[in-house]
Amino acid sequence: MTALLTLDKVSVSYGRIQAVREVSVSIDPGQIVTIIGPNGAGKTTLMLAAIGLLPSIGAMRYEGEDLADVDVEARVERGMCLVPERRELFHDMNVEDNLTLGAYSRRAKADIRRDLDDVFDRFPRLRERSRQLAGTLSGGERQMLALGRALMAKPRLLLLDEPSLGLAPLIVREIFKTIASLRNLGISILLVEQNARAALETADVGYVLETGQVTQQGAASELIGDPKLIAAYLGGH
Ligand code: ATP
C-alpha cells in the first residue's frame, strides 16, 4: 500500500535554530497517527512544514508525489487540511458563515448545502448555534467549529494541532470521539498532542518527539503501556 503522506528526514529551522531534526513519519490511508511530546518539542513546526507554510529540508511525499514543488494552496487542493492550534476562526462571523468559508475552494452550491447539513448532523450543537458569532462560542464549541470547517473542505488528510488545548476533560473526550469517528469517512489524520493518553487511545500509531527528534515510535496500543512513556507523559496511571 502506498502511504498517504511520508516525511523522510525532514528538518526545519528558524534562522540558526533547528526546531525539527531529521524526522521521518509515515501515514497510511485511513490511519490516525499521533505525534506526542512536551511543549516546544517541534510538533507545531512539523505540522506547518507538512502543509507547506514553513520551508524544510528532507523529502515529503503525498500519495507518492514529491511535495518539493507543491505550494500550500496546491497541497490543500490535493486534500491536505490543517486545523491550527489557535483554531483561526472568524470571530465576527456566525457559525454557518465560518463553515461555508471552509468550502471556499469548491463551487457547487448544492453540494455545499448538503455538506453543511452533514456537519450539523455530526455537531448538533453547531446547528443550534448556527447564527451565533464564532467569538461567543465556548472553547469546545470553537474546536468543533474548526473541525467542522475543515470537513467542509472534503479533506483526505487532516493535520490536527493540539485539538484538546485549553479544553475541560469531558469536552476533550468528546473531541477525541469525534476525531476517531472521522476514520469512517475515509479521512486520515495526523494528530499532534500534549495530551498523550487521549491521543494514544485514539491513534493507530504513535511517535514521540523530543527536542525536535523522534525518540520512540510504534503501535499506539504498545506505546500506551510503555513504562518509560507512562513515567514521562502518561501521568503514571
Ligand atoms: P507547543 O506544544 O508548545 O506548541 P511544539 O512542540 O509545537 O510546542 P514548536 O512550537 O514547534 O513546538 O516549537 C519548537 C521550537 O521552535 C521551540 O524551541 C520554539 O521556541 C521554537 N520556535 C517556534 N516558533 C518559532 C519562531 N517563529 N521563531 C523562532 N523559534 C521558534
Model pLDDT for residues 139-158, shown as the tens digit of each residue: 889 999 999 999 998 899 99
Residue 2 CA to ligand 1 centre (angstroms): 31
- Cβ atoms of 195 and 169 within 8 Å: the answer is no
Q: How far, in Å, CA of 172 to CA of 93, rounded?
A: 25
Assess whether pLDDT exceeds 50 at residue 73.
yes
Assess whether pLDDT exceeds 70 at residue 43.
yes
Assess whether pLDDT exceeds 90 at residue 85.
no
Q: Classify domain 1-79+155-237 at the CATH topology level.
A: Rossmann fold (3.40.50)
Residue 68 CA to ligand 1 centre (angstroms): 23
Mean pLDDT over 70-99 rounds to: 86
pTM reported for the whole predicted model: 0.91
Asked which of 10-19, 89-98, 133-142 is least confident by mean pLDDT, the reply is 89-98
Sequence ranges of the domains in the chain:
1-79+155-237, 89-154
Residue 43 CA to ligand 1 centre (angstroms): 8
Residue 81's nearest CA partner among 45, 105, 57, 100 is 105
Using pLDDT thresholds of 50, 70 and 90, give the confidence band for residue 237: very low
Tally Cβ neighbours within 10 Å of residue 217: 16
C-alpha cell at 138: 465556548
Listing DSSP states for 29-70 in one string gives: TT-EEEEE--TTSSHHHHHHHHHTSS--EEEEEETTEE-TT-
Using DSSP bridges, classify how beta strands 32-36 and 188-193 pair: parallel, antiparallel or unpaired: parallel
- Cβ atoms of 87 and 98 within 8 Å: the answer is no
Residue 30's nearest CA partner among 158, 209, 194 is 158
Mutate to test the pocket of ligand 1, among 10, 12, 17 (most ligand atoms within 8 A of CB): 17
